[in-house]
Amino acid sequence: MKTVMKLTLKLAFVSLMLLTVNQKSYSNFSRDTLIRISIENFKPDPQNHLTRFDIYLIRTSDVWHLWENATFQIEFLRNGGVPIDYENYEIEVDVSRSEIVTTYTGTPVYQIGANILNDANNPANSRVMLIVLGPEDPVDSKVFAEFSKLKLCTVILKPKNSNTPLTTRIEWKEPFDYYQAIAYKYIDQVNSVPDYVIVANENDHIEMIWNTVYDTILPLPETQLRYFEVEYTGNLNVVCRYATMAEHNNAGFVIRRAVYRDTLTQEGYEALPDSIFTVTVGDYRDPVFTSRMQGLGESRFGKEYDPIPDEIDNRMVNYVYRLFYEHIDDEDGLHKIATRNLITPNAVIFKATASPNPCRDISYIEYKLDDDVYLTCEVYDQNGKKIKTLSDDVNGLLYKTYVPRGTYTAVFDATDLASQGFYNVIFIAYPINDKNVEISTASVKVQLIRGYGVEQP
């Protein structure tokens, strides 16, 4: 939902404005855009719980060249065009990278400040006022090249507490009942001034009235996700885990899943339509999940949420999970925040390896299960005769024994075997509750050698 946002204020002459400077009359001066003031890089920052933006100046006319001072009025809103309550906010101005605020003999030539004007009796009149104070002597004024773009300052609007929402839209405030203007001048010592240029004396300021242009609105701030992951935990069970870094007007989370036949890239999964996610795994609006999935509302800090379990139907299926959140002020429903897929495994036994091999008396066979199974592990000699049933280090005797997914070690103890030679250790894994999955096996050949020269662990 990212959108580049630029809010531009055009300041212009209007015809019939009477300006008498150095006995020159400009009673019929036509409309002319003299300067553009643009708000750029507007960025609601939930992690630091503030909103910041930069103000730039662009001179668009050659009727002036020295910057003096200005007064701007700005209005802030939340999503849906809801005005903020200015009582709950504070404002700062950062001029560390300003291209206007220079110094002269150790003293700033320009000073920039911001005030919140909160009208409790008439909230519609509330606003933020930005003031630029220039030098007393016009000679010290900023020379402003035509069509140059200079950074005025960075403005930071901070909610006073973590429960106060960030502002998500900014507009120029219409100047119905206050003064908003820019003053600029040419000093009369400038040589070769064209006739159309207004020449001002030392104390003359020429004021301009406003004309506003809106380029776009702001993107919707989103809850910032730290992670969303899904894990197969065995026996047709999945666990969904997620955490946030910060939250913006977050009512709560919803997790839904779908079955998708093909495998895709991560971008492909993210592009899948919401409509295919028809199975609800967890929903904060359901009383069963409210305490575990309800959002923080507005918080600069995130939260690690409780795992949400899911019981699936089949193995060897590509399940796709999508995490949504519901924005308190947005009537468009749930917002997608992350998508993850999981191909549930077959009841496969793999990575069965013996060590040492060859062995004199004992070999340890490490094996790994991809799912919960009923497991049997038997030893056969070279003639195919069953010799014994093995045990492992955790589950005991392995004869149709319930063994959870994981890695284990079975013990091949040959101290009671008389003959040396090769022995086959056969693992048989029986699926627990899915008839669509076949029995899987793994075989390890262990060589038994009597005598010296065979190391034991």
Answer yes or no: is pLDDT of 2 > 90: no
For 45, how many CA atoms within 13 A lie in the half-sphere containing its CB?
Answer: 13
Pair 14, 95 in one domain: yes
Look at residue 1 and tell me if it is in a domain.
Answer: no
Q: What is the mean pLDDT of residues 320-334?
A: 84
User: Final residue of a domain: which of 343, 373, 401?
Assistant: 343
Q: Please tell me whether residues 339 and 375 are part of one structural domain.
A: no
Residue 338 lies in a domain: yes
Nearest to 166 by CA among 247, 226, 54, 253: 247
Q: Indicate whether 209 and 233 sit together in one domain.
A: no
- Which amino acid is residue 396, in one-letter code? G
Interval 331-356: pLDDT, tens: 667 899 999 999 887 767 767 899 99
Burial 313-348 (b: 16+ CB within 10 A, else e): eebeebbbbbbbbbbeeeeeebbebbbbbbebbbbb
Calpha distance 214→43 (Å, rounded): 17
Could you tell me if residue 451 is left (phi over 0), alpha (psi between -120 and 50 degrees) or otherwise beta?
left
Residue 82: its pLDDT value, please?
77
How many domains would you assign to the chain?
3
Choosing from 320, 343, 366, the residue where a domain stops is 343
In this structure, is residue 317 part of a structural domain? yes
The verdict on residue 388 lying in a domain is yes
pLDDT, tens digit (0-9, with 9 covering 90-100), for 409-455: 999 998 888 788 899 898 988 888 766 666 778 888 999 987 654 44
Question: 193 pLDDT band (50/70/90 cuts)?
Answer: low
Task: Say whether pLDDT at 23 is over 70.
Answer: no
Are residue 21 and residue 91 in the same domain, yes or no?
yes
Residue 177 has pLDDT above 70, yes or no: no
Tell me which of 41-50, 174-183, 295-304, 306-315 is least confident.
Answer: 174-183
Same structural domain for residues 259 and 168?
A: no
Residue 174: predicted pLDDT: 66
Does residue 1 have a pLDDT over 50? no
Run of H or E including 228: strand 224-234
Q: Which of 432, 425, 367, 429 is nearest to 393 (CA)?
A: 367
Q: Any idea what the CATH number is for the domain that residue 403 is in? A: 2.60.40
Query: Residue 311 is part of a domain; what is its CATH number?
Result: 2.60.40.10
What's the domain range around 180? 6-214
d(CA 380, CA 336): 55
**Predicted pLDDT of residue 50:** 86
Q: What is the pLDDT of residues 98-123, one digit of tens each?
A: 888 766 556 667 888 898 888 878 87
- Which range is most confident: 176-185, 215-224, 376-385? 376-385
Task: Please check whether residue 41 lies inside any domain of the structure.
Answer: yes
How high is the pLDDT of residue 451?
Answer: 64
Amino acid at 293: M
Of 214, 237, 268, the domain-final residue = 214
pLDDT for the residue 212 = 43
Query: Does residue 456 lie within any of the structural domains?
Result: no
Q: Do 353 and 336 belong to one domain?
A: no
288 residue type, one letter:
V
pLDDT at 144: 77
Which distant-in-sequence residues (6+ apart) come within 8 Å of 147 by Cβ?
58, 59, 60
Residue 454 lies in a domain: no
Q: Is residue 219, in this structure, part of any structural domain at all?
A: no
Same domain? For 40 and 173 the reply is: yes
pLDDT digits 0-9 by tens, 157-175: 998 887 787 787 888 776 5
- Considering the domain architecture, whether residues 292 and 439 belong to the same structural domain is answered as no
Neighbouring C-beta atoms of residue 357, cutoff 10 Å: 16
Is 67 found in the same domain as 180? yes
- Assess contact for 47 and 300: CB atoms under 8 A: yes
Per the DSSP assignment, residues forming a β-bridge with 326 are 252, 334
HEC string of 68-108 equals: EEEEEEEEEEEHHHEECCHHHEEEEEECCCCCCCCEECCEE
Residues 265 and 180 in one domain: no
| pLDDT above 90 for 408 | yes
* pLDDT above 60: residue 32: no
196 and 243 inside one domain: no
| Same-domain status, 177 and 255 | no
